[in-house]
Structure 1
Amino acid sequence: MKRKVAFISEHASPLALIGGVDSGGQNVYVSRLASKLVQYGYEVDIFTRWDNADTGQVILMEPGVRIVHIKAGPKVILPKENIFVYMDEFASGMIHFIDSNKINYELIHAHFWMSGYVASLIKNILSIPFVITFHALGRIRRLYQGKDDGFPDERFSIEEQVAKDADIIIAECPQDMEDLVIHYMADTDKVRIVPCGFDKAEFFPIDKYQSKLKLGFNPSEFLILQLGRLVKRKGIDNVVLGLKELLKLKDDPVRLVIVGGESDDPDPSKTPEISRLMDLARNENVLSNVFFTGRKKREVLKHYYNAADVFVTTPWYEPFGITPLESMACGTPVIGSNVGGIKYSVEHGETGFLVPPNDPELLGKRLYDLSSDKGLMKRFCFNSVKRVNTLFTWDRVGKMVSEIYEEILGAQFSRFGKIQNSISEFWGNIGKSKTLKEKKLNQI
C-alpha cells in the first residue's frame, strides 16, 4: 500500500507556465520531485492556491500525483507577496479537505515559507510531521533587494518559527544551509542538503547546428542564452552589459537570446522587465544583437539550451537555480554568478566559469575566452554533461528525499487516527497564536 504525502506549494503550481514573474524553479521542483516519489512507493497530493475559477478542485497530474486547489482569497492570480493574509483560510481549507475525504497523510512537505506556516499549523492540530524546503529565505532576499522586497517583515519571524517546528529542513546547497544556521539559528542536526535536479528524458544533448536552424538562428553566430524569470534580481542587465564588453573584443557575429516573460510574445507592456532591458540595450547600442522570445513551453526549452553556445545567469543571489543544470545536461557550459546554488552546481574552470554578479567587464572577458577557444569549449561541454548526470538528476534527488521521509516516519509513533478536531476547533486553536492575533483574523 502506497504511503500518502501532502505537498504544500501555495503559489507555485506545477500547472503554471515557466518564465513568468512567479513561475520558476519551485514549480519544476515540486512537479518533478512528486513524480519521482511515486517510484519510491508514495502517493502525493500537491496543495496549491485556487487562482482560476474555471479549474476544478482536484486534477490528476499523473498516476499517483494530484493537484488539489484550496480556496484562499479570490480565485484569481495574485502576486505571491500579497497572499500571506489568506494563508489561514488556506490552512482551514486544507484541514477541511483532509477531514471530508478521510485521508491520513503520513507526512507534509512544505515548499516556501508560507507553505511552512500552514504546515506548522496543521502539525499543531493533526500531529502530522513536516519537512520544509524554503527555496528562498526572507532575510537573504531583503539583504539584496532592500525596499524592492514586497514581503511583510513578519516573514522573518515566521521563517524562524517554521525552522524550529519542522522535523527536517532541506537545504538545497551548502550556502543555503549556512544561511539557515547563521540567519535563522536552525538546528544543524535537523538540516539535510539535497540539491535540485534535472530530468534526463527532458534535457539531453542535440546537434547544435540543427538546433540553431530549428529555432531560426544563424548557425555562424555565437549564441548566448539567458532563460528564466524576467525579474530585476536575476541580473539580466549585467548580461546585456557583458554582451557589450564582448563585442569590444570580438568581430564575429554574436546574439544574446532572452527567453521568458508573462506572454508568449515578447510584449513589453505585459513584462516590464523586457521594456527595461530593451531600453538598456538601446542605450548601450547593442539592441540589434539582443533577441527576446517571450515565454516558451517546457518541451521546447531543450532546443534553446542546445542551440546556445553558452548559457549565462548572473543573479544577485540564487538559492539554487535549476536552469544551469538543464543547460549543462544539454552539453552547454554555464557562466554564472558566484553565489548560492550556482557556485555549487557550476564547477569553475571545468564546466564553465563563476563570476561576480555585477562585473560585466569580467563577464565579457569570460565570454570571449570561451568563444575563442574550441578546446576549452569542448572540455566544458563534456564535463557539464558528466557532472549533472552524476550529481543532479531527479532520480538521485527523489531517492535522497525518500530516505529523509523514511528517517522521519521511522521515528514517529502513534501519530495517526481519525481527525478529532473540527474546523471550528481548528480556528479556535490557531486564533490563540500571537502571530494570528497580530494579523487581526476578524478582518480577513
Structure 2
Amino acid sequence: MRVEPMRRVAMISLHTSPLDQPGTGDAGGMNVYVIELARQMAAQGIEVDIFTRATSSALDPVVPAGDGVQVRHIHAGPFEGLSKGELPGQLCVFAREVLRAEATQPLGHYDVVHSHYWLSGQVGALARDRWGVPLVHSMHTMAKVKNAALAEGDTPEPMARIIGEEQVVEAADMLIANTDLEAQQLVSLYDAEPARVEVVHPGVDLDVFRPYDQATVRAELGLPRDAAVLLFAGRIQPLKAPDVLLRAVAELLVQQPELRSRLVVPIVGGPSGSGLEHPESLAQLSSHLGLDDVVRFVPPVAQAELARWCSAATLVAVPSYNESFGLVAAEAQATGTPVVAAAVGGLTTVVRDGYSGLLVDGHEPRAWADALRRVVQDDALRLRLEGGALEQARRFSWERTAERTLAVYRRAHAEMAQSLA
C-alpha cells in the first residue's frame, strides 16, 4: 500500500512547555529536546503542533515557535501551584481539549502523535485511537530506573507512575530510546517488544554550543582569568546531585588547600522536583562545608548564555544519579570543555571516558575529588580531553536526530497502514 508523505505531527508535552526556561521547575533537557526536534522537522517541511498545559492566563492559546512550529496551550487545572504529582488528575481534561482542538481541523489532519514522558503518553494513546494514526513515544525518564538509583533522601516514584508507564509502553506503536542502554531497559523492565524500540540519540545545537574565547567570556562573566572553574548546570534536585560536587570540592580543598585562591564553582540552575521542598538546602550545605568563598549560585540562563558559561569552565560536572541521555554533558563538550560525569545511564554514551571527559563510578566525594583534581592539575590531560570533547560532540546533531525520528514515524505509519489493508 502506498503511504502518503508525512505532513503534520502532533507532539504532546503535557507537564512542561518547550517554551519554559530550562534549569528550573520541571523544565530541563526534555524541553530542549522537544523544541529543537520540532524545529528541525519543520526545516524539513513537516508542520509540528506541540500541545502543552497552560500555566498562566496570560499565555496565548497558540504561540508560534518558529516557521512551521506552533505551541498550543491547553487549559487543564489551575494555572499555578499544580505539582507534577497532581497532574494525573488533569489527564481527562487535557485529553478532551487536545481532541477538541483536532476536531476543528479536516479529517486526517495529523499523520502521527509523538508523546514525551508518561503523562503525555496517556493522552497520546487516546489520540492514537481517536485519530487512527500511530503513537510514537519517548519516555525521557523511567520510574523503575529512577527508583533503582535514588539519591539519599529522595522520594521514590509512585506505583501509579509505574503502572502508567507500563500502559504507555503497551499502547505505543513505536518507542524511541535515547541510548542502547535505555532500549535495553525498556525491554527488560517494561517488557517492550524489541522490534518496536528504536534508538535515536538527542542532538546539540552546534551553532549555539561552540568554543568561545575563554579569556573573553570569563571577563564578561566576572570570572578570574586564571581560575579553576568547576561548573554545574541543571535543576537543583537530589537526582542531579549538585551536593556531590560540593562535597567533592570540600574534599579537594582538604587535599590541595592551595587551590582555594583560584577555585570558582558556579551552580547554574534553580530548584526543582523534591528540591523545591528545601530550595535553600544547597546554599546551606555550601556554608556548612565552608565553601561560600568559592561557590556562586547563578539563576537559570538561556541556551546561548549557558554556552558561554560552559566555554568559561575548566570542566563541567554532571554527578547525576541517573540520566536517560545527559544533554548538558553533550552541550558542554560541544564548547570544547571536558566533562566529569557519573558513570550512569546515558552519560556512558555521551561521555567517552578518558577521551572527552572522565566517568566516575559511584558518588563518593573522594573519588570525585580525585577526578576533578586530575583535570584541573594535569595540563596535558585537560588539553587532550578538550580536543576529544569537540570530536565527541560532533556525533550528536539535531538534524540527524530529526532525520532518524522521521524514519521512525514513517515506519510506524507504514506498518499501521499495512495492518489496516
TM-score interval for Structure 1 and Structure 2 normalised by the shorter chain: over 0.9
2: CA distance between counterparts of 1:203 and 1:300? 10
**Structure 2 SS opposite 1:288:** coil
**Structure 1 SS opposite 2:149:** helix
Deviations 1:214-235 (A, max 9, x none): 1001111100000011111111
1:141-160 equivalent positions in 2, closer than 5 A = 141-145=146-150, 148-149=154-155, 151-160=157-166
1:319 partnered with 2:328: no
Match of 1:61, as an amino acid?
A
**Structure 2 SS opposite 1:412:** helix
Match of 1:336, as an amino acid?
A
1:177 shift after superposition: 1.3
8 Å Cα contact 1:205-1:329 kept in structure 2: yes
1:139 partnered with 2:148: no
2: CA distance between counterparts of 1:29 and 1:166? 19
Q: What is the TM-score when the length of structure 2 is the normalising length?
A: 0.93
2: CA distance between counterparts of 1:110 and 1:177? 17
1: CA distance between counterparts of 2:156 and 2:8? 35
8 Å Cα contact 1:3-1:42 kept in structure 2: yes
1:408 shift after superposition: 1.7
Q: Which residue of structure 2 aligns with residue 397 of structure 1?
A: 401
Q: Which residue of structure 1 aligns with residue 27 of structure 2?
A: 23
1:208 partnered with 2:217: no
Q: Which residue of structure 2 aligns with residue 436 of structure 1?
A: none
1:256 partnered with 2:262: no
Residue 122 of structure 2 is aligned with which of 117, 122, 125? 117
Q: Which residue of structure 1 aligns with residue 50 of structure 2?
A: 46
Q: Which residue of structure 2 aligns with residue 293 of structure 1?
A: 298
Q: Which residue of structure 2 aligns with residue 198 of structure 1?
A: 204
1:19-418 equivalent positions in 2, closer than 5 A = 19-76=23-80, 78-102=82-106, 104-145=109-150, 148-149=154-155, 151-250=157-256, 251-252=258-259, 253-261=262-270, 275-389=280-394, 391-413=395-417
1:274 shift after superposition: 5.1
The root-mean-square deviation of aligned C-alpha atoms, in Å, is: 2.0
Match of 2:44, as an amino acid?
Y
Distance 1:186 1:343, change over 3 A: same
8 Å Cα contact 2:239-2:320 kept in structure 1: yes
Q: Which residue of structure 2 aligns with residue 421 of structure 1?
A: none
Deviations 1:269-296 (A, max 9, x none): x966552112212222222111111222
Match of 1:368, as an amino acid?
R
In structure 1, runs of 5+ residues without a counterpart are: 264-269, 417-444
2: CA distance between counterparts of 1:414 and 1:72? 36
8 Å Cα contact 1:21-1:230 kept in structure 2: no
Higher mean C-alpha deviation, range 89-98 or range 120-129: 120-129
Distance 1:259 1:405, change over 3 A: same
Deviations 1:355-381 (A, max 9, x none): 124111011111111111111111111
1:130 shift after superposition: 0.8
1:415 shift after superposition: 9.9
Distance 1:231 1:307, change over 3 A: same
1: CA distance between counterparts of 2:278 and 2:226? 29
Task: Report how many residues are paired.
Answer: 409
**Structure 1 SS opposite 2:231:** strand
8 Å Cα contact 1:8-1:46 kept in structure 2: yes
Match of 1:255, as an amino acid?
V
Q: What is the TM-score when the length of structure 1 is the normalising length?
A: 0.88
8 Å Cα contact 1:262-1:295 kept in structure 2: no
8 Å Cα contact 1:321-1:342 kept in structure 2: yes
Higher mean C-alpha deviation, range 141-150 or range 329-338: 141-150
**Structure 1 SS opposite 2:330:** helix
% identical equivalent positions: 29
1:399 shift after superposition: 1.1
Distance 1:91 1:154, change over 3 A: same
Q: Which residue of structure 2 aligns with residue 8 of structure 1?
A: 12
2: CA distance between counterparts of 1:285 and 1:412? 61
**Structure 2 SS opposite 1:354:** strand
